Amino acid sequence: MERNFDYIVIGAGSAGCVMANRLSENDKHTVLSIEAGGKDRNFFIHMPSGYSQLVPTRSNLNYGYETQPEPTTNNRKLYWPRGKVWGGSSSINAMVYIRGHAYDYDQWRQLGNTGWSYDDVLPYFKKAENFQGDGDDEFHGFGGPLNVKKSSRTDDLLLDVFLKAGEEAGFPLTDDFNGKEQEGFSRYEHTMKDTTFGPRRWSAARAYLHPALKRQNLSTETNVQVNRIIFEGKKAIGVEYLKNGQTFVCKSNKEIIISAGAINSPQILMNSGVGDSDELTKHGIDVVHELKGVGKNLQDHYGVLNSFYATQPVTLHRSAGLLNTGLSGLKYLMLGTGDAAYPPTSAGAFFKSSPDKDIPDTQLHFTSIQTKDLHGREGVDKDHGFTAVIYICRPQSRGHIALKSANPREEPLMYPNYLSEEQDMIDTRNALRETRRVFLQKAFDPYRGDQTKPGSEVDVDDDDQLDEWIRSTGETLYHPVGTCKMGDDDMAVVDANLQVHGLQGLRVVDASIMPTLIGGNTNAPTIMIAEKAADSIRQS
């Protein structure tokens, strides 16, 4: 069974939804969107606090991957949730809207990627954005598909305490992490929208895909498994995929765009015979095109926790536990208010882990709740508490993605190689101590109980003890990038137009093309990348 389209977009995640929308704006072009997951109908996707229901458990909405054991993280298998649904991870994430530092994009340009400096990409951030509220129009967009609003929450007392403590510790306050000055402590901006039914998550699917579904030239397929890209010589001409046990082939008249994310995009390329020949031949895959960098250059943010008990019942533990969680969800469903109407993290900070850093190298997320682990898989502590999730922004460690077999239905092998570079451990250690110093400020005195993470068994002033705790407890902060990196060196997979080197009719458009990890959450940059790629395709 075979069909023809001008453009085939593999993946309906953060980038894929943008591509499906922008490419179908021209009614002369036919577009097919292919998604491994289903439609975004689950109630918890749209409820802002639903993150806590979607992230901890592998499900039909969440790949729930596990990494391979590695010595740098004490041979643990680390849990990697990734969205498997329309909107991808933008449908299950904590909705924090962060673009990164101008330095990040200027560095991309300095690495040889013409057109990717901060001044080059800012117009695409603005094009995507509809900022809800007062914002500086030099940096914010008004009228784009992606709704963004700053947290104005008034029922979480510790948010302002956290900002005051940061100031007492000698750090600046900033009005806008995405404006003139990233460095400092502030409320977050979120991909959310106020509606008549209350606040809603505004995922890439809600912002881009749903408005485009009415177009006759856009077709969608869900719950499909892509087997491979079909090539005619060095030209990508089609996609073979499996649905309901049946194999389909769709042909492309113009281009195929892989937007399957930092894990699945390199997997699809390798299953299609594009990658390191040593990797492909050991699985019996015929080499269509040699590209050593496919699956390499994996980067991610590795997070650790610093948490304390609270001496007063002023935290979000008021909505924890089976009964209280249910009541909170019911209040949201009926009135659109209460704790369920807000994301779990409403404030954060960017600061320097040590004075010798030129720009902020640490991000922390503050939440007035205490989970037993970073992902919340073990539930919430029964007692009131508050937590910071801490990570260094630009780790030097590099990992890779590999195939487990030639079977496209088998999950790939993930080797993040966290903390393999000594500087990453040094910076993480310093960042945790700086965060703890914030929590020990006068502003927290009326609320701060005993420190729980690290616990009393860890001497935080002892480098060896703290390093061991970091190795044994850290987890992903959900920002894998870089496995199909953009550039012109021997390990680059795509060029500055995101076309796959040495092949025709094939691009990769998602977080996998980032040559280096940006300083912040990766959802907003991924949407920007897709907006810019869509422009490039229209101009080609």
Distances 85 to 213, 243, 391, 469 between C-alpha atoms, Å: 16, 15, 27, 35
- On whether the CB atoms of residues 46 and 3 are closer than 8 A, the answer is no
Q: What is each CA distance from 315 to 219, 274, 443, in whole angstroms?
A: 46, 51, 15
**Residue 152 CB: number of other CB atoms within 10 A?**
9
Cβ-contact 429, 354 below 8 angstroms: no
Strands 31-34 and 2-10 come out as: parallel
Q: Report the distance separating Cα 326 and Cα 346, nearest Å.
A: 21
The total of other beta-carbon atoms located within 10 Å of residue 215's CB is: 15
Catalytic (active site) residue 479: yes
| DSSP character at residue 287 | P
Residue type at 351 in one-letter notation: F
The end-to-end CA distance of the chain, in Å, is: 30
Calpha distance 484→269 (Å, rounded) = 9
Strand partners, 308: 386, 451
Q: Which long-range contacts (CB under 8 A, 24 or more apart) does 236-243 make?
A: 236/503, 236/504, 236/505, 236/506, 237/505, 238/8, 239/8, 239/10, 239/34, 241/34, 242/409
Annotated catalytic residue, options 190, 317, 384, 479: 479
Angle, in degrees to the nearest 10, between helices 102-110 and 118-128: 130
- Residue 348's DSSP bridge partners are 186, 365
Q: State the burial class of residue 111 (Cβ atoms within 10 Å of its Cβ: 0-12, 13-18, 19+).
A: middle
Structure tokens at 274: 């594009």
* Distance, CA of 467 to CA of 76 (rounded, Å): 15
- What is the rounded distance in angstroms from the CA atom of residue 532 to the CA atom of residue 159? 35
Provide the CB-side half-sphere exposure for 409 (13 A, CA): 7
Q: Which two tokens stand for residue 465?
A: 């003890």
**CA gyration radius for the chain?**
22
Three-class DSSP category at 47: coil
Among 538, 393, 518, smallest CA distance to 118 is for 518
Phi, psi (deg, nearest 5) at residue 228? -170, 160
Catalytic residues: 479
